[in-house]
């Protein structure tokens, strides 16, 4: 009897061991056929979308036992560090997903990552290998003590010769001149305070500092003469007759501190007012008056439409010494204003002094025939009834302008 009971228990034990050996899962909520096929238990597949964690990318090829305890699949490792070695030695925290993705450890968006730091990546920096700046990666954390360019670019700063930065006192704040997209061309915006090269006529007219600064060791030295537009023959011709002109760079800068064509306002005081007075804004170029480009001492007043000969002859008819010539114009009109012809007082009749001063507005008040200034009339002002009454009984009196002048040559009553 006892041996029979022992035999039964032995069979039951062996059966349980066989069952345990055939089913390694002590706790599982899915049927066998969810993972296994009828052909072989070794032929397995499982749709992870049936769970709360969908497998993506590299995780799809991972072995189940890498994350799960197959005796109880609910005992799953829930963080990356449980499966993956932390090469950062816990110095970067446990949130691997903040940098890495399931596509691969080295597949990450460096620009997006840097948006959460005090040094956003842009331009050429997006192409730089991380270890170029984070030299202690991956064992140390990625934090840097400074984000100053000079920490990475000191060798460039010290070795550059065009221009030589260190000896010329260039700032180590690289971003004050350089951009993230490319080192060159550099921008030295403060240069426009000294001389505009990023604005005005010289913008985009140069390629490198040495275009103007011909001595790399001294940026106080400059030359305006290397440009094809500044050849001596052309520049000499443009400045012919200009007082103090010399074909050298300091003089160029003295007269053209903004790089623009000089206005030469001294023309007003030294020669003839063209920036003030009657002729201001009446011309566009030197050649309007100076018709011989190589000799600014040659000038003409005659091309302007209001200086045509017919009008000028009419206006100056019978004026002593008048000729339709530029030299004559300048002699009588040195300021460009209409002449007063004060000689009228001594040569003919006092109109700027005496009783007739300020009693007239224009020549035609007395000279009714514009083409002949020898013709004059006193009768615009002196009407006949009053004159006849005042001269009653005067021997030889007649109401005639020539007789008026004969008796009153200075315009006075006597």
Q: Looking at the domain assignment, is residue 292 inside a domain?
A: yes
- Please indicate, yes or no, whether residues 393 and 376 belong to a single structural domain of this protein: yes
* End-of-domain residue from the set 320, 339, 358: 339
C-alpha span between 211 and 223 (Å, rounded): 8
What length does the chain have? 414
Helix (H) or strand (E) holding 155: helix 150-159
**Lowest pLDDT segment from 8-22, 272-286, 292-306, 379-393:** 8-22
Read off the pLDDT of residues 204-235 as tens digits, 9 standing for 90 and up.
888 888 888 888 667 788 999 988 778 898 88
- Please indicate, yes or no, whether residues 378 and 405 belong to a single structural domain of this protein: yes
Instruction: For residue 6, name the pLDDT band (cuts at 50, 70, 90).
Output: low
C-alpha span between 389 and 392 (Å, rounded): 5
- Please indicate, yes or no, whether residues 24 and 73 belong to a single structural domain of this protein: yes
**Lowest pLDDT segment from 7-11, 237-241, 335-339:** 7-11
Phi, psi of 104 (to 5 degrees): 155, 155
Instruction: For residue 15, name the pLDDT band (cuts at 50, 70, 90).
Output: very low
Global pTM reads 0.41
Model confidence at 273: pLDDT above 90:
yes
**Burial letters 170-197, b for 16+ CB under 10 A, else e:** beeebeebbeeeeeeebebeeebeebbb
Read off the pLDDT of residues 375-413 as tens digits, 9 standing for 90 and up.
899 998 999 999 999 999 888 899 999 999 999 999 888
* End-of-domain residue from the set 59, 78, 97: 78
Could you give the number of structural domains in the chain? 3
Q: Looking at the domain assignment, is residue 393 inside a domain?
A: yes
- Please indicate, yes or no, whether residues 316 and 372 belong to a single structural domain of this protein: no
**Lowest pLDDT segment from 34-48, 128-142, 329-343:** 128-142
Helix (H) or strand (E) holding 268: helix 266-270
Helix (H) or strand (E) holding 68: strand 68-69
Helix (H) or strand (E) holding 236: helix 232-239
- 8: exposed, middle or buried (C-beta count within 10 Å: 0-12, 13-18, 19+)? exposed
- Please indicate, yes or no, whether residues 335 and 363 belong to a single structural domain of this protein: no
pLDDT confidence of residue 2: 56
Q: Which domain holds residue 333?
A: 275-339
- Please indicate, yes or no, whether residues 297 and 319 belong to a single structural domain of this protein: yes
Q: Looking at the domain assignment, is residue 367 inside a domain?
A: yes
DSSP letter (8 states) at residue 261 = P
Read off the pLDDT of residues 16-39 as tens digits, 9 standing for 90 and up.
454 445 677 878 888 888 888 878
Q: Looking at the domain assignment, is residue 265 inside a domain?
A: no
pLDDT confidence of residue 37: 81
Q: Looking at the domain assignment, is residue 249 inside a domain?
A: no
Residues 6+ apart with CB under 8 A from 92: 99, 141, 142
């Amino acid at each position: 009897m006892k041996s029979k009971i022992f035999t039964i228990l032995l069979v039951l034990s062996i059966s349980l061991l066989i069952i345990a050996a055939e089913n390694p899962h002590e706790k599982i909520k899915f049927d066998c056929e969810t993972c296994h096929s009828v052909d072989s238990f070794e032929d397995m597949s499982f749709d992870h979308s049936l769970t709360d964690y969908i497998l993506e990318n590299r995780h799809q090829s991972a072995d189940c036992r890498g994350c799960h305890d197959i005796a109880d699949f609910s005992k799953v490792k829930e963080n990356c560090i449980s499966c993956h070695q932390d090469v950062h030695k816990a110095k970067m925290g446990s949130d691997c997903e903040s940098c890495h993705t399931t596509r691969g450890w080295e597949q990450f968006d460096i620009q997006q990552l840097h948006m959460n730091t005090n040094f956003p990546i842009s331009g050429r920096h997006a192409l730089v290998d991380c270890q170029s700046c984070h030299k202690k990666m991956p064992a140390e954390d990625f934090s840097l003590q400074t984000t100053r360019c000079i920490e990475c670019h000191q060798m460039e700063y010290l070795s550059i010769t065009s221009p030589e930065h260190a000896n010329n006192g260039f700032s180590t704040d690289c971003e004050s001149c350089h951009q993230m997209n490319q080192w060159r061309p550099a921008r030295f915006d403060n240069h426009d305070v000294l001389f505009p090269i990023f604005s005005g006529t010289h913008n985009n007219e140069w390629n490198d500092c040495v275009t103007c600064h011909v001595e790399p060791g001294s940026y106080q030295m400059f030359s305006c003469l290397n440009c094809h537009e500044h050849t001596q023959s052309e520049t000499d011709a443009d400045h012919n007759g200009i007082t103090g002109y010399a074909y050298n760079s300091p003089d160029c800068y003295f007269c053209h501190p903004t790089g623009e064509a000089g206005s030469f306002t001294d023309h007003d005081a030294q020669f003839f007012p063209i920036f003030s007075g009657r002729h201001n804004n009446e011309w566009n170029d030197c050649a309007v008056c100076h018709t011989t480009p190589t000799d600014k001492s040659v000038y003409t007043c005659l091309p302007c439409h209001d200086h045509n000969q017919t009008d000028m002859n009419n206006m100056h008819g019978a004026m002593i010494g008048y000729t339709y010539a530029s030299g004559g114009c300048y002699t009588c009109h040195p300021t460009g204003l209409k002449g007063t012809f004060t000689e009228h007082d001594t040569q003919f009749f006092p109109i700027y002094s005496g009783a007739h001063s300020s009693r007239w507005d224009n020549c035609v008040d007395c000279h009714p025939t514009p083409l002949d200034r020898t013709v004059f009339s006193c009768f615009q002002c002196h009407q006949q009834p009053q004159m006849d009454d005042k001269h009653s009984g005067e021997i030889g009196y007649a109401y005639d302008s020539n007789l008026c002048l004969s008796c009153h040559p200075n315009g006075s009553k006597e």
